Amino acid sequence: MKVYLLDVIGRGPRYFSDEKSLITYLNNDDNRGDAIHRYKVTVVEAQVLEESNAKDYLDSYNKFTTERNVREAKLSAVLGDKYAIAVDKLIGYITTNAKEGIVKQKFLEEIKLIPVEKKQLSRFITKRSGYLLYEVSSEVEYYKLLLAVHNFRAMEDRYYALRYDQYGEYTEGGFTKPINKKNFLKAKQS
């Protein structure tokens, strides 16, 4: 299968899957008076390397990414990277102590897709801050682990949790846990 790449200066590249549509496009530009002699045509002989359905492709990509990130995180922890060690301890704490459910499962699946880089993990943790601050644990020890990974400035008095209902859809419910805020402040001070 041939693919035709046309580099049109000032307009960016265009791709054509057949020669007839390329010739039609060039004739139209030539009739308008565009300087087609400056265009560059590249013909690529394309072959199908792999074909699969989208779900299988996404699953294999996620599996590969997870394995790579876990391997890099372990290597960084062994080499003494303090941030990687803190992230590993936090994930271990969440795995063993957080309440079982879909939210925990989703969080653990998603964090394994994020490389152990402070900037990317910080963005991820900020998006999941409600779950991490209010739902995992209310222990001072946990908040120390969390603060070693991400420096939260404050904690709200009231938290609105998104929950999955029996149909897998989000529902919202609010609750207050004063012990969370009290222990968060203790961990922040120590």
Asked if pLDDT for residue 90 goes beyond 70, the answer is: yes
Q: Are 91 and 125 in contact (CB under 8 A)?
A: no
| Locus of tokens 């390397």 | 49
- Name the residue ranges covered by the structural domains of the chain: 2-45, 54-189
Q: Which segment of 9-18, 124-133, 154-163 scores lowest on mean pLDDT? A: 154-163
Is 172 in a helix, a strand, or coil? Answer: strand
Among candidate residues 10, 9, 17, 7, the one with its CA nearest the CA of residue 40: 7
Digit-coded pLDDT (tens) for 102-144: 888 988 988 888 888 889 899 999 988 888 888 888 899 999 9
